[in-house]
Amino acid sequence: MSSSSSDDLAKLLLRLGVGVLLLLHGLHKLSYGVSGIEQLLINKGLPPYLAWGVFVGEIIAPLLMITGLYTRLAGWLATVSMLFALWLAHSHQFLSLNSSGGWRIELQALFLIGSLCIALQGAGRHSLGGSGGRWN
């Protein structure tokens, strides 16, 4: 397998992995609402309607990642969404470990790092948008 082929395969696997796992979080919020996020925003002095932005970061961005359309934009949207999630809901856990010794926010950190990598690398050729274009 050539370097280019393995790079494109790696981009596909990263997009699918981050996209599907992040989408599951978004579908949960779609089913159960965003009232918890609204309360976190209110506690920080921000308007509660910003909670609806979670659907951009956890539904729209993952769908774009999975399909490989506007992939870089999707990566940036998910990155911003994860930064908000870390700030609003997890900032008190930055220096904590879980019961098995892992970083308490390891999942959120992996979503953040994966989304940032997608934003920087783009979709690759195994995508609906192809490897060309500014946002792919």
For 101-130, what is the mean pLDDT?
94
Residue 1: the pLDDT is 64
Residues spanned by the domain of 78: 3-121
Better-predicted residue by pLDDT, 112 or 3:
112
Q: Is residue 131 part of a domain?
A: no
At 5 the pLDDT is 87
Q: Which two tokens stand for residue 31?
A: 């089913």
pLDDT at 2: 67
Residue 129 counted as domain residue: no
DSSP 50: G
Provide the number of structural domains found in the chain: 1
* Residue 110, in any domain of the structure: yes
The reported pLDDT for the residue numbered 4 is 80
- In this model, does residue 132 exceed pLDDT 90? no
**b/e per residue, 53-81, with b = 16+ CB within 10 A?**
bbeebbbbbbebbbbbbbbbbbbbbbbbb
Q: Using CB atoms within 10 Å of the CB of residue 127, give its burial: 0 to 12 exposed, 13 to 18 middle, 19+ buried.
A: buried
Residue-averaged pLDDT of the chain? 93
Q: Where are the alpha helices (DSSP H) in 33-95?
A: 35-43, 54-55, 61-67, 71-85
Q: 127 lies in a domain? A: no
pLDDT at 11 over 90: yes
Question: What is the model's pLDDT at position 133?
Answer: 74
- Within a domain: 130: no
Indicate whether 33 pLDDT > 70. yes
